[in-house]
């Protein structure tokens, strides 16, 4: 293991208390915006009160949502009207997005949003109570324009300090502990001498503790979590640093820096960061097996291997960077063959169970003909388990890619590693249809210090139901339409699934605008030409499963399984027509 950077930071709340507890500040009024939880902010307010300083300490993260959580009694309201600002350095709906999921947190009060047309970082809030009395409020959302580590200009939330003392008012940016820690960590990695050969490291570990507790919200899987948000910001910002270093475009999925692992946890101590380069972990976690159909949580690796044994057929495999096996099975029969895969992005876990459940069902059918590789990214999968031990419900995008740091699907050339499981499946079957099971965040995904909206993933920031993507060769457009029609008709018969989609889409539209998707039989769909794949027709599922458990998890892998089964049926029914065409 080698140490790259280590530092702890004075808590901003402690710094403010120290500064304003000086006798010369008595009688001052202080407003500050910080990346801290309510409990800590209230404790600091009380300390300052004892020194004769009147303090109001706000959240710098999602300040409008916090205003309603902390300062408004929504139970007494009939109507809420919010005018949100805009800014030339961000998308027009950025400040609307930050209000998510307010409209589900306001009791039975109706909430309306409209643009204010101003660039003043201020929400104009009008509250009408049940007696018809109207009050007006201004909610400040401090932001700054800045250049990030890769030279892009962004508008990001920031700390702020407003002091009224002896007739003088000052109002200016206040760089918080949370921001200092992030920028110091990114700079330490960016300035390190990594050499010129990828991968630069095995595991790059970013261990951070923050004294900020997650706050569960009353809607669905939503929570305010600065530990989760910082994980996301560190992971993607560091990918961007290495994309730039390697001369690749931002967002390039072929970059192979090594495994970047931000481990951001809660500790009741000053914020601290410790960055090390260390060896890859090669051990699999172990635990109890679950009954597949009622599995309430992701499976352990040993059970995935056992289930494949039960499915039988011809075994084939590939290897990951750390030496783990990517397992596949080929069930040879007289049907039209289909390729089934899951776990390409290893923090998307319902597809693994859905693929196995579908394979168990199909193998008992006469003529069954398919391959299955339910977990294509075992190094990422073990990392996901490790990260979930500390924060079980976070989305953990560091577990998305492989231990190389790349998206396995984007590999080419001789060293395919995990991707070899796909080329083998294609060689074994000659299949024309690949069903590739995926997921995405079950709750809001942000990068608070890098423009708030995850760069390159703008369409994935909020859940919007179970949806399907079809990528097809240019002469397979008609087949794509027929496949999607068949599959969505089948899925629409699943109890509650269309209603689940409709509720998420309605909330998405309230806080983000149009989905930009076609809705086919109740399911959002994206159908497009993509000649990157050798298989002419690829059906990709997207279930909001990062990271869910219990009944929600069962609903997720059931939807995945039903998609595989109905795609298989569509293939059998339609293939004769498709291939002639």
- Give residues in contact with Zn ion (CB under 5 A): 345, 348, 438
- Which of 37, 39, 60, 48 shows the shortest CA–CA distance to 15? 48
Q: How far apart are CA 573 and CA 508, in angstroms?
A: 36
Q: Is 526 exposed, middle or buried (0-12, 13-18, 19+ CB in 10 A)?
A: middle
| 177 vs 406, beta carbon nearer Zn ion | 406
Distance CA 283, CA 285 (A): 7
- CB nearer Zn ion, residue 244 or residue 557: 557
* Beta carbon of residue 399, minimum distance to Zn ion (angstroms, whole number): 11
* Cβ proximity to Zn ion, 335 vs 407, nearer residue: 407
The least distance separating Zn ion from the CB of residue 421, rounded to whole angstroms, comes to: 16
Q: How far is the CB of 515 from Zn ion (least distance, A)?
A: 18
Least separation in angstroms between CB 460 and Zn ion? 9
Q: How far is the CB of 59 from Zn ion (least distance, A)?
A: 31
Nearer CB in complex with Zn ion: 231/345: 345
**319 CB-near residues (< 8 Å, 6+ apart):** 325, 326, 417, 418, 420
Q: Which two tokens stand for residue 539?
A: 């059906």
In a 3-state reduction of DSSP, which class is residue 211?
A: coil
Beta-carbon contacts of residue 76 (< 8 Å; ≥ 6 apart): 129, 130
- Residue 348 vs 418, nearer CB to Zn ion: 348
3-state SS, 11-63, equals CHHHHHHHHHCCHHHCCCEEEEEECCCHHHHHHHHHHHHHCCCEEEEEECCCH
Q: Minimum CB separation from Zn ion for residue 440, in Å?
A: 7
3-class SS string, 403-429? CCCCCHHHCCCCCCHHHHHHHHHHHHH
Whole-number minimum distance, CB 409 to Zn ion, in Å?
9
Please, which residue, 543 or 568, has the CB nearer to Zn ion? Answer: 543
Structure tokens at 320: 């990951």
Q: Tell me how far apart the alpha carbons of residues 443 and 581 are, in angstroms, rounded to a whole number.
A: 42
- Tell me how far apart the alpha carbons of residues 121 and 211 are, in angstroms, rounded to a whole number: 27
CA diameter of the chain = 87
Least Å distance, CB 341 to Zn ion, is 11
3-state secondary structure of 508: helix
By C-beta, is 344 or 566 nearer to Zn ion?
344
Distance CA 402, CA 540 (A): 19
C-beta closer to Zn ion: residue 161 or 395? 395
Give percent helix, percent strand, percent coil of the chain, each to the nearest 5. Answer: 35, 25, 40
Nearer to Zn ion, 157 or 524 (CB): 524
The DSSP call for residue 372 is E
User: CA-CA distance, 515 to 510, in Å (whole number)?
Assistant: 10
Nearest-angstrom CA–CA distance, 89 and 158: 15
- Minimum separation from the CB atom of position 454 to Zn ion (A): 14
Among 452, 89, 407, residue whose Cα is nearest residue 248: 407
Please report how close the Cβ of residue 455 comes to Zn ion at its closest, in angstroms: 17
User: Which is closer to Zn ion, CB of 232 or CB of 348?
Assistant: 348
Least distance to Zn ion from the beta carbon of 53, Å? 50
Whether 301 contacts 352, CB under 8 Å: no
CB of 358 to Zn ion, least distance (A): 18
**Choice between 439 and 451, CB closer to Zn ion:** 439
* Cβ neighbours for 393, distance < 8 A, ≥ 6 positions apart: 221, 223, 547, 548, 549
Please choose, from the candidates 284, 241, 286, the residue with its C-alpha nearest in 3D space to the C-alpha of residue 260.
Answer: 241
User: Given the complex with Zn ion, which of 157 and 351 has the nearer CB atom?
Assistant: 351
**What is the tally of helices (H) and strands (E) in the chain?**
13, 25
Shortest Å, Cβ 438 to Zn ion: 3
Nearer to Zn ion, 299 or 449 (CB): 299
């Amino acid at each position: 293991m080698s140490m790259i950077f280590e530092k702890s930071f004075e808590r901003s709340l402690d710094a403010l208390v120290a500064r304003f507890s000086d006798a010369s500040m008595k009688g001052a009024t202080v407003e500050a915006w910080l990346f801290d939880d309510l409990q800590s902010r209230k404790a600091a307010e009380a300390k300052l009160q004892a020194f004769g300083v009147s303090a109001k300490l706000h959240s710098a993260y999602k300040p409008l949502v916090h205003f309603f959580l902390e300062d408004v009694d929504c139970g007494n309201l009939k109507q809420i009207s919010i005018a949100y600002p805009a800014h030339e350095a961000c998308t027009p709906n950025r400040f609307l997005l930050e209000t998510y999921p307010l409209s589900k947190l306001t009791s039975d009060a109706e909430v309306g949003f409209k643009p204010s047309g101003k660039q003043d970082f201020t929400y104009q809030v009008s509250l009408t109570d049940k007696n018809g009395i109207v009050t007006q409020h201004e909610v400040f959302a401090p932001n700054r324009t800045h250049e990030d580590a890769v030279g892009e200009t962004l508008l990001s939330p920031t700390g702020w300090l407003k002091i009224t003392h002896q007739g003088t008012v000052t109002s200016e940016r206040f760089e918080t502990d949370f921001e200092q820690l992030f920028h110091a960590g990114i700079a330490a990695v960016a300035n390190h001498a990594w050499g010129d050969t990828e991968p630069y490291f095995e595991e790059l570990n970013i261990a951070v503790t923050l004294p900020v507790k997650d706050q569960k919200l009353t809607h669905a899987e939503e929570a305010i979590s600065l530990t989760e948000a910082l994980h996301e910001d560190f992971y993607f910002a560091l990918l961007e640093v290495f994309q730039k270093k390697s001369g690749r475009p931002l967002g390039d999925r072929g970059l192979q820096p090594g495994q970047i692992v931000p481990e951001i946890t809660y500790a009741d101590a000053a914020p601290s960061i410790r960055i090390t380069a260390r060896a890859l972990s090669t051990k699999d976690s172990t635990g109890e097996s679950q009954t597949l159909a009622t599995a309430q949580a992701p499976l352990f690796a040993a059970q995935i291997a056992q289930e494949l044994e039960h499915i039988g057929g011809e075994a084939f495999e590939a290897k990951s960077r750390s030496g783990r096996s990517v397992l596949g099975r080929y069930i040879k029969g007289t049907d039209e063959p289909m390729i089934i895969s899951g776990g390409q992005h290893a923090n998307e876990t319902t597809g693994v169970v859905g693929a196995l459940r579908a394979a168990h069902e199909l193998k008992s059918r006469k003529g069954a003909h398919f391959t299955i590789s339910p977990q294509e990214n075992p190094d990422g999968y073990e990392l996901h388990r490790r990260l979930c031990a500390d924060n079980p419900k976070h989305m953990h995008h560091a577990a998305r890619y492989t231990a190389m740091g790349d998206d396995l699907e984007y590999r080419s050339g001789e060293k395919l590693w995990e991707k070899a499981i796909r080329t083998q499946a294609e060689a074994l079957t000659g299949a024309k249809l690949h069903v590739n099971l995926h997921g995405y965040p079950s709750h809001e995904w942000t990068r608070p210090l890098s423009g708030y909206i995850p760069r390159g993933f703008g369409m994935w920031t909020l859940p919007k139901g179970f949806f399907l993507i079809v990528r097809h060769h240019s002469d397979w457009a008609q087949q794509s339409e027929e496949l999607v029609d068949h599959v969505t008709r089948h899925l629409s018969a699943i109890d509650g699934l269309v209603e689940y989609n409709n509720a998420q889409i309605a909330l998405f539209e309230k806080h983000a605008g149009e989905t930009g998707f076609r809705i086919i039989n109740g399911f959002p769909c994206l159908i497009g030409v993509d000649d990157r794949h050798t298989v002419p027709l690829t059906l990709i599922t997207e279930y909001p499963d990062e990271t869910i458990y219990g009944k929600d998890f069962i609903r997720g892998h059931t939807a995945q399984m039903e998609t595989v089964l109905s795609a298989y049926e569509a293939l059998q029914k339609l293939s004769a027509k498709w291939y002639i065409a």
